[in-house]
A and B are shown apart, each in its own frame.
Chain A
Amino acid sequence: MQPDIFALRRRQWIIFFGLIAVLTYGSILLTDYNLIQGFTAIPRAFAWATANFIPDAAALERMPNILAKLWETVLISISSATTASALGLIMALLGANTTRPHPWFSVPARGIASIFRNIDVSAWALILLFSFGQSSFTGFFALFFVTFGFIVRVMVETIDEVSTDSVEALRATGAGYVAIITQSVIPSCLPQLISWVLFMIETNIRSATLVGILTGTGIGFLFDLYYKSGNYSSASLVVLMIVVAVLLIESVSNTIRRAVL
């Protein structure tokens, strides 16, 4: 007789949810976390936040200072994303199967990118703090390294995906390496490249806040300063302005994406 597939499925579901329940309850017991107390605290937390975090007149007076720092942060995010992408593209060309000058290039190029990518941006910020101290360079290079690692990875895949065929055709015509890259690989990859650069600019602006807190520069520093001095209304204005900036950048980059594709 056929084993009953429905009974089997039911048994699998019961085991699955049973496991989840056991894991959750076990974790709560081990960490001494009171679930009910945690959830009932949420309304009180909101009430406190609305009382203390609403930007007041004093906070609005600091607006020019906040905008100046925000502008600096946005510019650093953009410049780190674009320079890292330019270098990352070159590294990706060396690493991609289609465009590598020699098979030996592939593993080192991908390996270097993987190291840069897998060290978190906050770790980079703390490492670089030793070399550059409390300056914009620290933030710039922390964002630069992570963007570089990321762009190499996605562009290696994109290059192999979209340009293998046309590269073969151009090699067959006798075209040289540089001409193949500029006339075939770059035009084929351009929409994806632009899209990823825009994505990295958005990501960098978000991480710039954290990097700033850690390294004492840019908008993150301002947030840290206000927050630690108990000036919560100004700190929340900083957060609000960051959200506005990210939304603005996102809508601009979405417009560019639509135009390019």
Chain B
Amino acid sequence: MPLLEVEALTKRYGSETLALNNISFDVAAGEFVVIIGPSGAGKSTLLRCVNRLVDISDGDVRFDGVSVPTLRGKTLRRQRTQIGMIFQHYNLVNRLSVIENVLHGRLGYKNVFQGMFGIYTEEEKQDAVRILASLGLSEQTYKRCDQLSGGQKQRVGIARALVQKPKLILCDEPIASLDPSAAKIIMDTLQDINRNTGITVLVNLHQVDVALRYADRIIGVNSGTIMYDGPPDALSNEQIHQIYGSEAGELILDLRERYAA
């Protein structure tokens, strides 16, 4: 059984805007899937339908055999603990320390009282320290997040997702605000996590060249529909054109040729 099954997923904002139109695909456990497409294609909405940060208009999303659209309250929270998420703007609480931000990943497992006062067990704290060390952030553990560089902040975001012990990590444009070298570290980290721990990774990306290099499988989205779903090797230049619309043309072709060479 696939870890994630998306079936005829449709999302409307208001009555007119159709963000996702009848999308269907499966993701097997352990896959590294990259979703590419132009801005406004519905990539972010698609990720947010999986953990129900946005409500689903029509169709079904099943994660680990559980149907997502009708989940409410406690069952929805339990489902979300199994899905980590990292963001373009890192979405950390900048005034808190790195370790506090990482431990936020455990809040889904807490009752109201524990959550209210941020009470974590010794094991959880040890685990957070260990994960930070594995991401090369030992020295930053007790620093405030607003003292970190962008690349470091994103690694804190990854640590917060990992401490959840998730089966799936959703990444919404994880490298869009980073310089090329920090971006490489983040993508390598995600790849290592995927290969070493078997956690499934679903990434939204702008950069076609990065997608081609890291993905096991690419899903191309435009105007809320899937234009391509398959391995990166089989993705032709014409199909990239199709995904991005005809105007995108030249630059993407350039990147493709440079990567191939």
Contact A166 B112, beta carbon cutoff 8 Å: no
Contact A173 B95, beta carbon cutoff 8 Å: no
Interface: B260 (CB within 8 A): no
Interface: A190 (CB within 8 A): yes
Please indicate the chain B residues that have their CB under 8 angstroms from the CB of A174 in the complex: 76-81, 107-109, 164
Please indicate the chain B residues that have their CB under 8 angstroms from the CB of A182 in the complex: 115-118
Q: Which A residue's beta carbon lies closest to that of B83?
A: A172
Contact B104 A173, beta carbon cutoff 8 Å: yes
Contact A183 B95, beta carbon cutoff 8 Å: no
Q: Which B residue's beta carbon lies closest to that of A169?
A: B91
A191 to B146, CA, bound (A): 14
Q: Would A184 and B104 be within 8 Å (CB), given that A165-B87, A165-B91, A169-B91 are in contact?
A: yes
How many Å from the CB of A187 to the closest CB on chain B? Answer: 5
Q: How many residues on B have C-beta within 8 angstroms of the other chain's C-beta atoms?
A: 36
Interface: A179 (CB within 8 A): yes
Interface: B43 (CB within 8 A): no
Contact A187 B93, beta carbon cutoff 8 Å: yes
Q: Which B residue's beta carbon lies closest to that of A186?
A: B93
Contact indicator per residue, chain B 103-135, by CB within 8 Å of chain A (1) or not (0):
011111110100111100000000000000000
Contact A168 B110, beta carbon cutoff 8 Å: no
Contact B93 A184, beta carbon cutoff 8 Å: yes
Contact B51 A178, beta carbon cutoff 8 Å: no
Contact A175 B115, beta carbon cutoff 8 Å: yes
Contact A173 B107, beta carbon cutoff 8 Å: yes
25 contacts between A and B (CB under 8 A): A163-B93, A165-B87, A165-B89, A165-B90, A165-B91, A166-B93, A168-B91, A169-B85, A169-B91, A169-B157, A172-B84, A173-B80, A173-B160, A174-B76, A174-B81, A175-B104, A178-B116, A179-B110, A179-B118, A180-B107, A183-B93, A184-B93, A187-B96, A188-B95, A190-B95
4 additional contacts (CB under 8 A) given A171-B80, A174-B164: A169-B104, A174-B81, A176-B112, A188-B95
